[in-house]
């Protein structure tokens, strides 16, 4: 289960208005107007179309609907910054933080939490070191455990990433940071606070028959909107309806062990 200190931090959120300002400023800095690149009304919805980085080693990801292509990981031990394909990063984190013996619904919920946590920092970023180098997340418990040679990646982890890749969580109209913890033993949802997924009690939820959507709503609600490819899932939606949406092509197995 997740380390007690993984995905630590407060509960920052990004408002849609802030996203609009960021994209507008990026385009204006490049000498372009929004009207030249985007159709009218594109920013009315409470999500952002897939955008481009602002260039250079310190670029930031500008979409809250499409996950990043890569993420910059600061390696605490070596001081190196690795530019890692985002899917690979996520699978390695899952193998270390969300073991395959957990119920699959919990692994899927963990995949959503780990993905949006890192995605949030890639979007909010970048963080800068004293020497000017930029990164998005650290590889230790300050953020998420990224240990390529110590991560026990199993088929369930790839399946969970593929099944939830297009899922985005919105609170109100805001893209937010999805924290998680090991938590304490107890009934389903006992420690839910709206901002973190607690693995131990979420496991109890799964044993009680809750699917991934229900688990996400228990721990990240209220005012939670679950979207996949722009489609909103209602309170009565089930994981079977997620599966009915066209899933992305299965990830190519990576040499992460």
Which one, of 47, 50, 54, 48, lies nearest residue 26 by Cα? 54
Q: Read off the pLDDT band of 240 (50, 70, 90).
A: low
Encode pLDDT of 109-148 as tens digits. Answer: 999 999 999 999 999 989 999 999 999 999 999 999 999 9
pLDDT, greater one: 78 or 52: 78
In 98-150, alpha helices (H): 104-124
φ/ψ of 37, rounded to 5, equals -110, -25
The mean pLDDT value of the chain amounts to 79
Q: Model-level pTM?
A: 0.76
Q: Which helix (H) or strand (E) holds 214?
A: helix 212-220
Residue ranges per structural domain of the chain: 13-242
Encode pLDDT of 180-228 as tens digits. Answer: 999 999 999 999 999 999 999 999 999 999 999 999 999 999 999 999 8
What is the three-class DSSP state of 72?
A: strand
Tell me how far apart the alpha carbons of residues 27 and 43 are, in angstroms, rounded to a whole number. Answer: 14
Tell me how far apart the alpha carbons of residues 113 and 10 are, in angstroms, rounded to a whole number. Answer: 15
Tell me how far apart the alpha carbons of residues 181 and 205 are, in angstroms, rounded to a whole number. Answer: 15
Q: Hey, what are 97's tokens?
A: 């933080």
* Contact yes or no for 71/118 (Cβ under 8 A): yes
What is the three-class DSSP state of 205?
A: helix
pLDDT, greater one: 205 or 13: 205
pLDDT at 42: 25
* Contact yes or no for 217/235 (Cβ under 8 A): yes
């Amino acid at each position: 289960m997740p380390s007690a200190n993984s995905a630590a931090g407060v509960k920052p959120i990004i408002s849609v208005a802030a996203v609009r300002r960021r994209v507008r400023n990026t385009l204006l800095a490049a000498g372009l107007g929004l009207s030249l690149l985007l159709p009218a009304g594109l920013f009315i919805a409470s999500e952002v179309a897939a955008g481009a980085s602002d260039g250079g080693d310190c670029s930031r990801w500008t979409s809250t609907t499409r996950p990043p292509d890569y993420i910059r990981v600061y390696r605490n031990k070596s001081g190196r910054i690795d530019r890692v394909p985002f899917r690979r990063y996520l699978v390695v984190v899952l193998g270390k933080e969300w073991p395959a013996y957990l119920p699959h619904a919990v692994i899927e919920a963990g995949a959503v939490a780990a993905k949006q946590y890192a995605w949030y920092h890639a979007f909010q970023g970048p963080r800068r070191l004293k020497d000017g180098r930029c990164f998005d997340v650290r590889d230790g418990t300050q953020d998420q455990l990224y240990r390529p040679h110590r991560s026990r990646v199993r088929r369930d982890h790839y399946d969970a990433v593929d099944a939830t890749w297009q899922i985005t969580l919105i609170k109100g109209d805001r893209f937010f940071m999805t924290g998680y913890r090991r938590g304490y033993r107890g009934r389903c949802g006992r420690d839910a606070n709206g901002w973190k997924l607690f693995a131990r009690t979420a496991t109890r939820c799964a044993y009680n028959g809750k699917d991934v959507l229900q688990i996400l709503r228990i721990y990240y609600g209220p005012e939670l909107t679950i979207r996949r490819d722009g489609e909103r899932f209602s309170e009565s939606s089930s994981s079977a309806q997620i599966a009915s949406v066209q899933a992305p092509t299965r990830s190519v197995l990576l040499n992460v062990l």
